[in-house]
Amino acid sequence: MSVRRKVEDMAEPIGDHLLTLREAAEVLRLSTRTVREYVWRGEIEGRIIGGRWRFRRADLDAFFAKASRSWDFKGKNNHGE
């Protein structure tokens, strides 16, 4: 078996297409800045591919599943801002 074939066997399939930063923010109903902050804190999995952030929908779903039940999409400090 060639080295290239071994690498292909070890790679995980991406599955659905990758989402852009803007699309990820829309899915989570957050600003793009907030999504980037969660990425830098390690709470959302994302990758820079071709100079742009890319996200798998499964990673966004996992982030949402782990989010506190009291998490408010309306704005900061539960004031609906």
pLDDT in tens, 18-46: 999 999 999 999 999 999 999 999 999 99
Q: Given this model, what pLDDT does residue 78 score?
A: 47
Q: For residue 53, give the CATH number of its domain.
A: 1.10.1660
What SS3 state is found at 7? helix
The closest of 12, 67, 20 to 46, measured between CA atoms, is: 20
Return the DSSP state at 1.
-
Q: Given this model, what pLDDT does residue 68 score?
A: 77
- The answer to whether position 31 is within a domain reads yes
Return the DSSP state at 18.
P
Is 12's pLDDT higher than 80? no
- The answer to whether position 39 is within a domain reads yes
- The answer to whether position 7 is within a domain reads no
Domain count, the chain: 1
Name the least confident of 15-19, 45-49, 64-68: 15-19
**Cα distance between residue 44 and residue 46, in whole Å:** 6
- The answer to whether position 4 is within a domain reads no
- The answer to whether position 1 is within a domain reads no
Is 9's pLDDT higher than 80? no
Q: Given this model, what pLDDT does residue 33 score?
A: 96
For residue 71, what are the domain limits? 12-78
